[in-house]
Amino acid sequence: MLFRQIPAGGDRNFAYWIGDEATREAAIVDPSYAPERVWTEAQAERLAVRYVISTHSHPDHIAGNDFFLERTQAVEVMHESAPRAARRRVKDNEDLPLGNLRLRFLHTPGHIPDHVCVLAEGKLLTGDILFVGKIGGTGPNFPGSDPRAQWESLQRLMRLDPATEVWPGHDYGAAPSSTIGREITANPFLLCKTFEEFLHLKANWAEYKKLHQIR
Ligand SMILES: [Zn+2]
């Protein structure tokens, strides 16, 4: 599998592409504010863009979608609950073929109802549900967000193979990627034993960060 993480401007956004080495078919994920750069890199690899996938409908993630829809035959892919009229709308646990690869979509609401993670050959693109050492925001700044759904989505991701690689939607952590196993033992939010403890940490995150010298 061909795979690349690309810094995409905005709020340290990450764009990605996933490609099948044999057929040179590719999916772009969250091209964000760097569609030209993603496009140039994909062309250098002689990739044909089949899909433009959004982990969720926040503007910083979908900003670069139209660039690809205007220039390629790519089909836009989003969760079925997304407010944008994506041509392909996916459900939880649905697979999408990409050459010889299969992309698996996991519906992971909490930060926003239409959030999906994309799993391809042991790599999990976690968008804004799980960052390295951190998690996505909820509250009044994030319409439709729901801490309980976020907790349940995170518990679900923790049940994946610990070797699963975590590739987040923003460069907010100490490293640009991680694994489920590492996050289970190091991410303060995944170390919470109960939902109440989780809520308490979210409410006191600023102090926690200061106390533990987390940037
Ligand atoms: Zn977001």
| 71 CA → ligand 1 middle, Å | 25
Distance (Å, rounded) from C-alpha 57 to C-alpha 112?
8
Q: Which residue ranges of the chain lie beneath pLDDT 70? A: none
| 145 CA → ligand 1 middle, Å | 10
Q: Which long-range contacts (CB under 8 A, 24 or more apart) does 182-189 make?
A: 183/130, 183/132, 183/133, 183/158, 184/158, 186/133, 187/130, 187/132, 187/133, 187/134, 187/135, 188/133, 188/212, 189/134, 189/135, 189/154
- The predicted structure's pLDDT at residue 31: 97
pLDDT tens digits for range 65-91: 999 999 999 999 999 999 999 999 999
| 51 CA → ligand 1 middle, Å | 20
| 86 CA → ligand 1 middle, Å | 17
| 197 CA → ligand 1 middle, Å | 23
| 56 CA → ligand 1 middle, Å | 7
- The predicted structure's pLDDT at residue 215: 85
- The predicted structure's pLDDT at residue 144: 96
Longest CA–CA separation in the chain, Å:
50
| 141 CA → ligand 1 middle, Å | 10
pTM of the entire predicted model: 0.96
- The predicted structure's pLDDT at residue 71: 94
pLDDT tens digits for range 115-150: 999 999 999 999 999 999 999 999 999 999 999 999
